[in-house]
Copies of this chain bind each other. A is one copy, B any other.
Amino acid sequence: MSIEKDIQQNSFKSPYSKAVINIFYTNNWLTSLQMEIFKPFDLTPQQYNVLRILRGQYPEPITVIAIIERMLDKMSNASRLVDKLLAKDLVIRKVCPNDRRAVDVIITQKGLDLLAELDVLQQKWEEQLYGLTECEANQLSCLLDKLRNSEPSNELEELTKKITNN
Q: Which residues of A contact B (CB under 8 A)?
A: 4, 7-8, 11-32, 72-74, 126, 129-132, 134-141, 143-150, 152-153, 155-157, 159-161, 165-166
Contact = CB atoms under 8 A, between A and B. Distances in A.
A160 B21 contact: yes
Dominant secondary structure at the A interface? helix
Contacts of A134: 14-16
A23 B20 CA distance: 11
Given A20-B30, A131-B149, A146-B132, A138 B15 contact: yes
Contacts of A129: 149
A15 B129 CA distance: 14
A148 B149 CA distance: 25
- State how many copies of this chain the complex holds: 2
Given A8-B152, A15-B141, A132 B161 contact: no
A14 B133 CA distance: 11
- Point out which of A20, A148, A157, A159 has the most chain B C-beta atoms below 10 A from its C-beta: A20
Contacts of A143: 132, 136, 139-140, 143
| 5 A-B pairs with the lowest CB-CB distances in the bound complex, closest first | A15-B137, A27-B27, A11-B161, A131-B149, A140-B143
A4 B165 CA distance: 18
